[in-house]
Structures are given as structure tokens and as C-alpha cells.
A and B are shown apart, each in its own frame.
Chain A
Amino acid sequence: MPGFTRYLARRAVLLAITLILVVYATVLIANMGGYIDKLLKGQISFEVTQRLNRDPAFTRLPQQERQRMIDERVKAAIRRAGLDQPFPIRSLIQLKQALTLSLGRASFLKSSTGSPEVADIIMERLPRTILLFTTGTVLAAVAGIYLGLIQARRALSRFDKSAILLAIFTYVQPPWFFGILFILLFSFYLRIFPPGGMISAPPPATPTGYILDVLYHLSLPLITWVFATFGYWSYTTRNIVLQTMSEDFVTAARAKGLPENTILFKYVLRPSSPPIVTSIALALVFSWTGAIITEIVFNWPGIGLLFWEAISTLDAPVIIGLTVILAYLLIITVFLLDIIYALLDPRIKTLGGAVR
């Protein structure tokens, strides 16, 4: 299949270019176009001068000698930190390191075990984010798609219309917004769930107790996430299924007198599923990025909170590391979806040969 291969190759090249551009843009922005380098250099020069000034032997030297020594040591410290090269070159080095996934060390942040390696810091946070947001996305998708199917079968009924309004309304409000209201309601007034965090302090001693405690802390953010996102799934599913239902082959199946359930599951669902599957795949990948403000509101120590900590301390290596991992994930997913689509859809197979 030369056409098919060519199509995939073309997509791969385009996605690779997108990846490089995204990562380079992040490198530029995370360093504020070299501004952070200036800050770091200033900090190094300040620290070196302070250290020398505290040395009694140094203060006795003549002025010129002192200045020479300061300059020399500042230069050495800057070279040691790798800041002696101009920013454009440094940004390219950072780009290469980011693309090869050598994420380096964080400037300020550390993992809870004390490791400054960006990879360690991220890997410590990732499981927590997956636990909350991937679970939440799966639950929301399942619930939403189920609701969407029921709506499609009873299209334009009172139930359908109110479900649409509820779906749009809950989806428009961001999860953190519901989070605040839910904490006030369920945590302060009803006292059912803890207001935030992932584990009690001190954590329970037994493994079962530990798991139950995490689940207890997980419930409220999970409920919030599902409540705030299920609407997207029900609304899209409803619309896609309804569109398929208006196609001629469904009318033909109805005319044959097939039962409604057979039509829905055998005739409608199959052609409706590709866009839904795409959405699910993308949502699952995006769920790995966590959600900055939701995690702040629930004090959930995942990727989103890490992003916020990295941004507020201007920790460029962590910011770049997070972005590059997420960009890779996203682009690999998009590429896999392209392959699956191409395999499933005969039109694309032949199209690959026809287009250019």
C-alpha cells in the first residue's frame, strides 16, 4: 500500500513539525525569551559577591584586585551553570534536550524523596493525576454516552431537552467552579467529604486503611469532575447518533421492521463511534495533564499543582519537562488515531494514493 504509507509518512512529518514548534515555543516562553537567564545571572553575581564580601581575607585586598576576583568568579559560576552562551543557542540546546527527553534537573522544586530530577518529580505526581482525572474522564464518558443514547432515542422529548440544557450548563462551568461550591456544600455543611488533600495526616498505618483513606479523599473531586464533564459526552453523543439516525440506511432498516434496539446497536452505533472514540482517546490523554485550578482548589498534589508550583517559582526545566511530555503524548495519540482511522476507513486508503 504505497498510498497508505505515504499518507502516514506525511502525517508523521507534519506532527513532528508541530511537536518541535510547540516545544520550542514553550522553551521560549518558559524562559521568557531569555529573561529568566538574566535573572539567574543576576542572582549568581549577587550570591558570589555576597560570599566574597563575607570573607575577611577578601575585604583586605585593594579595590581593583577585589573587582577582578569578583568578575572572575562570577564568570566561572555562570559558565558552570551553562549560562555563558547566548540565549538563542541555549534555547536550541534546551529544545534538543527536551525532544530527546533528557529533562535535566529542576531549578528549585524537588520530589518528596528529595530528588531534583525533573523526571522523578513528574513521575511522582503523574499517578495521582491519573487516579483522579483519568478515572473521572472514564466515568464521565461512560455515563454521558449512555445518557446521550437514551436522549437520542427520545429525541426532542421533555427529558431530552432538559438533559441538553443541563449538559450545556454543567459543561460551560469549569470543574474548579463546581469544586468550590461542592466543598462548601458537601464538606462544610453536610460534612460528608474532606475539603481537600489526598491523604489524612498522619496517614493510616494499614494498607487497606490507606487505600480507603485515599478513596475517601478522592470522592469529592471525582464527583465534581464527572458532574462538570459528563455533559460534553451526552450532548455530542446525542447529536452524532441523531445525525446517523436520519441517514437513509437507518430508514431502510426501520422499513424492514427491525426492532429499535437492533437498529440502535447494529446500524447506528457502528458508524457513529469513530468521532466518539477520537474524543475519548484525546480526553484520556488530556486527563494526564491534570487541571491546574481544580487541583489547587482540592489541594490534590498532581501534575496540575506541579505546573502551578513550577510557574510560580519560575522553574523553567519543570515547565518545559511537563510540556514536552504532554506534547509527545498528545501527538503520539493523534498519530495512532490517524493509523486506526486509515485502517478502518477504506476511503482514506485510496485517498492517500490520490492526493498529491
Chain B
Amino acid sequence: MSEQPVGIKQIFKEVAKSKAGALGFALLVAMLILAMFTPILAPYNVARAWNDLRYWQDNPALAAPAWVRFLSPNSYSGTVTLSNFSLERSFHGQYTLVRRTGSFVYMYDVFPTEVRLLLDVNYTARKPRVIATLERPDGKGVTLYNGMPVKGENVVSVSVDPKYQKLIGYFLYEELGYVPAAIHPEIVLFAKKSKYMNDRQRADVLKGTYILEVDAISFEKNLSVQPKLIVYGNSYGIAGTDNYRRDLTVGLMWGAPVALAFGTIAAVVTVLLQVVIGAAGAWIGPRADEIVQRAADFFLVIPVLPILILINVVYTINIWLLLSWVILFSIVGGVTKISRSMVLQIREEQYVEAALSYGASKKRILTFHILPRIIPYTFALIALSAPSYVFLEAALSFLGLGDPNIPSWGRLLGQAFDAGALYYGWWWWVIFPALMIMLVSLGFTLLSYAFDKVVNPRLREE
């Protein structure tokens, strides 16, 4: 025991000097920095909007990360948003014509995944008639919308809504002479004219400048139309998007403070509680010791995960309440037994006898002579148990039972699993949250290994 570093500062120094310890510290500090920057890079109101699906509608759904475009530029595309339109207002007798024209360049090698037109219309009493036409680089015009929009925002799902698919069908009929059973507007609109212009595999992309013209005709003079065309790609952001178009980068960033806070607080509180209770039981006397040890047996036998799941199913709880339950269920346990056996050894030592003989109170000996001896070991135990709490939170969120207000890594994984990401190969939705959880647990694991090596001579090199 004499060669062992006793001071806490010294232990931390030794740990930081070892390779595993330094790497562990570095990983956790990186995560901590990410967690601290999260509120700046993605403010809390963005996280609050996680469950508000309208907030994310400009993003493509199920898009891979944008950087895959550099790896294989031939198979990924970005999103093109057209919102700059020129305004032309003319009066023809009793009706007014508002013409908005905008253009964009489509240069990707692959077809868009979806096309959507948003029409923000404002008028006093009588609905205008609005016609939106897309003029392709080859000079052919396609009608995307022809109807009477209501006041406010109108979503024209060109790709999904059969009503608008039919309009594309008319165009196909003019070009090919027949209408296929299933129409894919996002392909037809951006395909070179050929027999296969409705077939993603065989059609060729028509690159060039596309012009969108939106005409609104009304009997009212003060009519306004603000169009916005979104041509969704199949890649977006640093980490891609999920099936509800949410930017996974935001979810991944918000997972960091959640995981770190939950794992660290749960680990520190439970380990310290267990150490103190186990030590106190062993120090006070055989009766208290017996009670504590039997309680520890009891808590080791009860199935904690099923009980936590049960509590979560019956009550919707937030993350702090969950933390309290976790702490309640680990008030005594495996660590209690470790600290007890250490106290049983320490209390036989001469300096404790000496302290007793000069009349120190039992409480004083426990706090000043016994607990400080155990504390170094608790660092390893805390670092070892932190990942299990990170994974506990992830497990509950995976089942859809965590705090519903904030995104967490487990929740992302769970939603990916439920949406079938594993079977459709939406790897970014699985790999990134998994990688984040793995990095945090790796950081804690390396730390615990380093601590163990310092305080536990068995693993030390001579």
C-alpha cells in the first residue's frame, strides 16, 4: 500500500499520464465541449421544435449526410430551394394578373427525391386562380398546379399527392402517348425526354436552368402570392435527416448534454451513496452491517430494468424524475459490498486503533480516517458505472419511454429501429447515434481502466 499514490491530485496526474487515461479524458472533454456548445449552435427552441414536424419541412426526408457527395458525387444530390421570384403585376379590365418568375439551375447527376411547391397566398374575399408552370431547359413547360388556393400557406406536394401527379400524367401523355400506372413527378420533371423518363434507373437527368412561373388571376387588386419551390435531394447536413425530415445533427448534439449529465450524475450519486452506506454499516456495528448487507442483497435481486420500464409506461416522466428513480433503486448494491469489505480491512489497522485510543469519535474516524482511504477506489467505480447509466437512459429512450421533450441518442436509435432503418439501410440514422454513445462509454471505460491501474496494483507494471 505504501507505493500507492494516496492524494487525489496525484491519482489524477498518474491517470492523465497513462495512455488510456489521457485518451479517456480527451474523449470526455471533447464531448463536454460539444455539450457546452450545443445551446449556442442549436438553441433550445430548436430542440423544443423536435416534435413539431412543420418546423423541418424544408429538409429532405431520409437524406444521407451531405459530405457523402464528395465521396460519390454521382449518386447523391443536394436540396435546391427556390424562393427568389420577380414580381410583375398587370391589370386587364376587371381582373388583376400577378406573375412571379424564378429560376434555378439543376446540375446533379441523380434525380431529386421529392418536389414540393409552397404557395403563400393573400387576398381579401375572392379566391384567385393560380397556375404554376415549370419550364424545363429543353423548352417544354409542365403544369405543376392549377387551382384555387386558400388564404395562407398551401402545400402542393407535387410528388406525393395523386391530384398533382395527374397533372404530370398529362405532360407524360403529350410526350409519350400513354400514361403509366405509377407516376414519379420528381423523375419526369427532371428527365431528358425518352421512353424511360418515368424510370429512375434508366432515365437521364436533364441538367440546366429551370424556370418556375406562377400566375395568379383575381378580381381583386391587392392580391399577393409568394411561391417557394423545394427540390429535395438525398443528402443533407452533417449527419443526414430522419423520416420526419428532422436534422439529425441537432438530435446528436442535444444527446451529448443529456447523456453526459445523466451518466455522470447517476454514477457519482449512486456510487458515493453506496460507498458511504456500506462503510457506515460496517463501521457502526454488526447489526447495522447485517441490515445494510441484506438490503444490498435485496436490491441486487430485484429486476431494475423491468421495474423502470413499468414505471415509465404508467407515468410519462421527465429525465430528472427518471434519474431519481434510478438513484432510488441503486441506493445500495454491489459497491456497498466492496466498500464494506474494505472497511473491515481498514478498521484493523493500527492508525484507526490509535485514533480510537486518543478518543476520536466514531463519526470522526469514519469521515476523516476511513472514507478518504476508500475514495480513490470510487473514481474507478464511478467511471465504470457511468456508461451503464448512459446505456440505461439509451435503453429506455430506445423503447420510446425516455423524456419525450428532448432528443437523445437512444431515442434516435429507437426511432431508427422502429422506422426500419436496419432493413432499408439508412445507416447514418443508426451509425451516428451509436457512435456517439460508444465514444462516451469508451471515454468512461478508458478512464476506469486507467484509475483501476493506478489504485489497483495488480494491473500495474513493475
Contact = CB atoms under 8 A, between A and B. Distances in A.
B168 interface: no
Interface string A9-42: 0000010011001100110011010010000000
Interface string B396-438: 0011000000000000010001000111010100110010011
B422 A187 contact: yes
Contact of A323 (B303, B434, B441, B449): B303
A330 B303 CA distance: 11
A23 B105 CA distance: 69
A336 to B, nearest CB: 15
Interface stretch (A50-58, A84-92, A110-118, A178-186): A178-186
Interface string A114-148: 00000000000000000000000000000000000
A242 interface: yes
A184 B430 CA distance: 8
A292 interface: yes
A26 to B, nearest CB: 8
A219 to B, nearest CB: 16
Contact of B302 (A22, A292, A314): A22
Contact of A188 (B294, B298, B423): B423
A120 B387 CA distance: 38
A289 interface: yes
B388 A176 contact: no
Contacts of B446: 165
B314 A292 contact: no
A180 B458 contact: no
B301 interface: yes
A177 B434 contact: yes
| Chain A contact patch, size range | 35 or more
B413 A22 contact: no
A314 B313 contact: yes
Contacts of B399: 293, 296, 308
B408 to A, nearest CB: 14
- Size class of the contact patch on chain B: 35 or more
A293 B309 CA distance: 11
Contacts of B431: 181, 184
B250 interface: no
A296 B438 CA distance: 20
Interface stretch (A65-73, A94-102, A166-174, A339-347): A166-174
B305 interface: yes
A18 B301 contact: yes
A163 interface: no
A172 B434 CA distance: 14
B442 interface: yes
A330 B301 CA distance: 8
A250 interface: no
A164 interface: yes
Contacts of A327: 301
A216 to B, nearest CB: 17
Given A293-B398, A327-B301, A180 B313 contact: no
A307 interface: yes
B449 A168 contact: yes
A164 B449 CA distance: 9
A180 B422 contact: yes
Contacts of B459: 164
A312 B425 contact: no
B307 interface: yes
Nearest to B312: A311
A172 B395 CA distance: 13
Instruction: Determine chain A's interface SS by DSSP, over half rule.
Output: helix
Contacts of B441: 172-173
A29 B309 CA distance: 11
B461 interface: yes
Interface string B354-375: 0000000000000000000000
Interface string A312-334: 10100001000100110011000
B139 interface: no
A183 B427 CA distance: 11
B20 interface: yes
A260 B391 CA distance: 42
A18 B422 contact: no
Nearest to B449: A168
Contacts of B449: 164-165, 168
Contacts of A177: 391, 394, 434, 437-438
A221 interface: no
In order of increasing CB-CB distance, the 6 nearest A-B pairs are A172-B387, A183-B422, A172-B445, A188-B425, A174-B391, A172-B441
Interface of B: 20, 294, 297-298, 301-303, 305-307, 309-311, 313-314, 384, 387-388, 391, 394-395, 398-399, 413, 417, 421-423, 425, 427, 430-431, 434, 437-438, 441-442, 444-446, 448-449, 458-459, 461
Interface of A: 14, 17-18, 21-22, 25-26, 29-30, 32, 35, 156, 164-165, 168-169, 172-174, 176-177, 180-181, 183-184, 187-189, 195, 239, 242-243, 289, 292-293, 296-297, 307-308, 311-312, 314, 319, 323, 326-327, 330-331
